[in-house]
Amino acid sequence: MLKCGYTSVCEFHYVHHAQDGARYPRHEELARRVVDAAGEAGIGITMLPVAYQYSGFGETPPRDDQRRFIHSADGLLALLDALRSAAPEHAGLRYGIAPHSLRAVSEPGLRELLAGLPADAPVHIHVAEQTAEVDDCVRSTGLRPVQLLLDRFAVDARWCLVHATHVDAAETAALAASGAVAGLCLTTEANLGDGLFPAVDYLARGGAIGIGSDSHASVDWRAELRLLEYGQRLARRERNVLAGASEPRVADRLFAASLAGGARASGRAVGALRAGCRADWIVFDPDHPSLAERGSGHWLSGAVFAEHGETPVLDVYTGGEQVVEARRHRDEAAAYAGYRRALAALLR
């Protein structure tokens, strides 16, 4: 992720328990490993332990293959307390929570989780990703998923509604007005055949967006932004769909919107080079084929829409420290060797 130019990640962390569902002696073990790995790699992280209680609407009991995810509200809040104690928050680390979805957490369970959180802690939730989820929610509750959240909970700028793919006009307007971030995961949504978010109407209403990799089908922000625009072009059979009145360059508009929305969703002071923000930045290679001989005002357009092999991201700095130099991470050899060992063990 760092090599592609991401400097922060909001980690929607599912796996809490051993394979048989038993707790580890150190309750926060797996989440702590992810936090530690982010620190070693040099990427800023908002750790969001996932709350998973049921396998479907109507409090359907979880399946055996979900037992590594399952937590009561009390249990997950205790895990968060343990994390905060073991690894306190700092400029590169924030904690929040991720109720998986309205089908996996009941309304009372979600209220209990929210009551146990600091008032400004980030809250991320999958919602309305697929039409089947929308239909199931309507059958179970009488409301569409985003409508239910906005009607029954105080959704505001600390919330990130991940996907929100299938929203009607009223939901789109209300979500944009709420200040919450729509967390768009374009390559995953395309990979799974989920559908297209109504980005034109949403952005026209001033809605906030962030981009995510979700399933890691891709970890390249350029691919996410490219697909965001191209999906809208295909659906509308138009060009330059997401250009704005004040920013005619699509790539520039989407990059700026994603920086602002991503920072909001992370709950961290990032996304800009200004006093009070963590010093994170990327350096483009001016000799890359996508950028060469173009003025810097066109570099984002070249980076997003001209795909010529390796990334144009040359160097990456996080917290003022260089973590990628000449497209190579500072611990590249050790990280890759560890990855190969882990993969070999998992696939054995």
Distances (CA, A) of 19 to 66, 82, 138, 275: 10, 21, 34, 45
- Together in a domain, 113 and 141: no
- Together in a domain, 221 and 182: yes
- Together in a domain, 131 and 225: yes
Q: Which residues pair with 284 in a beta bridge?
A: 313
Distance CA 332, CA 4 (A): 13
- Domain C-terminal end among 105, 121, 137: 121
13, 17, 163, 288: the active-site residue: 163
Q: Structurally, how many domains does the chain consist of?
A: 3
303 located within any domain: no
304 located within any domain: no
237 located within any domain: yes
Residue 59's SS3 state is coil
Sign of the C-alpha dihedral computed for residues 151, 157, 158 and 163 taken in this order: positive
Tokens of 226: 């490219």
- Together in a domain, 135 and 225: yes
Is residue 163 annotated as part of the catalytic site, yes or no? yes
305 located within any domain: no
- Together in a domain, 56 and 96: yes
Q: How would you label 31-43 residue by residue, b for 16+ Cβ within 10 Å and e otherwise?
A: bbebbeebeebbb
- Together in a domain, 132 and 250: yes
- Together in a domain, 13 and 117: yes
Distance CA 60, CA 145 (A): 17
Is residue 214 annotated as part of the catalytic site, yes or no? yes
Residue 116 sits in a domain of what CATH number? 3.20.20.140
194, 214, 220, 280: the active-site residue: 214
pLDDT tens over the chain, length 348 residues: 999 999 999 999 999 999 999 999 999 999 999 999 999 999 999 999 999 999 999 999 999 999 999 999 999 999 999 999 999 999 999 999 999 999 999 999 999 999 999 999 999 999 999 999 999 999 999 999 999 999 999 999 999 999 999 999 999 999 999 999 999 999 999 999 999 999 999 999 999 999 998 988 889 999 999 999 999 999 999 999 999 989 999 999 999 999 999 999 999 999 999 999 999 999 999 999 999 999 999 999 999 999 888 999 999 999 999 999 999 999 999 999 999 999 999 998
Per the structure, the complete domain to which residue 162 belongs is given by 123-271
Which residue's structure tokens are 């919107």? 257
Asked if residue 193 lies in contact with residue 165, where contact means CB atoms within 8 angstroms, the answer is no
Helices (H) and strands (E) in the chain, counts: 12, 12
